[in-house]
Amino acid sequence: MRIAIPIVGIGITVFAFGVLFFLQGNSVVGPTSSFMYSNTKWITYGKTIAAVGIGVIVLGIVTSLRRPKS
């Protein structure tokens, strides 16, 4: 059960980076000189990375809820 908290933390970090990449691809945040800025590939990459982050968060939550067999 101790492993669940770090897994959720990693998932939150991955999700946050996915959202950041998505927003940069949509020209919402970031410097205009960035290779990610206004780039449609990074919109797709950001969505995928955010989805993976959500999956890792769910994995961490399920791990924390699982009861050990006695």
pLDDT (tens digit, 9 = 90+) per residue, 11-62?
Answer: 999 999 999 999 999 999 989 898 999 999 999 999 999 999 999 999 999 9
Within a domain: residue 8?
Answer: yes
15 located within any domain? yes
The count of domains in the chain is 1
In a domain, 53, yes or no: yes
Q: Is residue 12 part of a domain?
A: yes
Residue at 47 is within a domain: yes
How high is the pLDDT of residue 2? Answer: 81
CA distance 36 to 20: 10
Which domain covers residue 41, as residue numbers? 4-65
d(CA 70, CA 41): 49
Whether 35 maps to a domain, the answer reads yes
Q: Helix, strand or coil for residue 26? A: coil
Domain presence at residue 70: no
Residue 42 and residue 34: Cα distance in Å, rounded?
Answer: 11
Residues with Cβ within 8 Å of 46's Cβ and at least 6 positions away in sequence, in order, are 18, 19, 20, 21, 22, 23, 24, 25
